[in-house]
Amino acid sequence: MATRIILRVETINMSLNRLNLSSVPPSDRQQLANLCLQFVTEGFLQEHENWHRRALADPGVHIREFFSFHRQMIQNLESFLNANGAGAYVPIPYWDPAERIPAEFTIVLSGFDPLRNPGPIAQIDSWFIPPDVCRFQTEGQLANSILAFHNFVHNTVGGVMSQFNSPAAAIFYPWHATIDLIYSNWQQC
């Protein structure tokens, strides 16, 4: 059985009021998934790819900018939702990869590889998320510890999620809301 990795109530501060994606009603999940994909533009996909290519050329970029880059993407989506009358979905719900991806969030933009493994990701073990994120002294230390976990989930879900164009998958956004929730919890230490 997969270890419950994220929502250890005693360690995660829920001040952002992010809901678990699985607790959102299916009709709302479908609408949110569709909105996530409406948010995606060719320019956004190119920006995402360019950042990752820079990070491959200079691995320090991935550590230094990991949280701010992903947070900015989530904030941009949330601004898009607010501007399009869908503020009820803000903040974006998070996805716990120890749970199956809800069917509504397995969709990807036309022309992109479908997801390979909608989960749950049974191999997730507690070593990916420390029991107390406050033990990390710097943002870089936290990013370094989370990076393998982040990449493991991308690669295990597979399909477009394991590629530079991963924002073409609806689950991309709740997954990064999870990463942002971990970061927010650390910031409150």
pLDDT per position as a tens digit, 7-65? 343 344 444 688 999 999 999 999 999 999 999 988 888 888 888 788 778 877 667 88
What CATH superfamily classification does 21-187 receive? Di-copper center containing domain from catechol oxidase (1.10.1280.10)
Residues 6+ apart with CB under 8 A from 52: 164
Q: Is the pLDDT of residue 100 over 90?
A: no
* Alpha carbon distances (Å) from 85 to 32, 44, 77: 12, 21, 13
Per-residue confidence (pLDDT) for residue 43, from 0 to 100: 85
Rounded to 10°, the helix 59-83/172-187 angle is 110
Backbone angles phi, psi at 160, to 5 degrees: -65, -25
Per-residue confidence (pLDDT) for residue 5, from 0 to 100: 42
* Predicted model pTM: 0.86
pLDDT digits (tens, 9 = 90+) for 115-152: 887 766 655 654 455 557 888 899 999 998 888 888 88
- Give 69: exposed, middle or buried? Use CB within 10 Å, 0-12, 13-18, 19+: middle
Instruction: Give the residue extent of every domain in the chain.
Output: 21-187
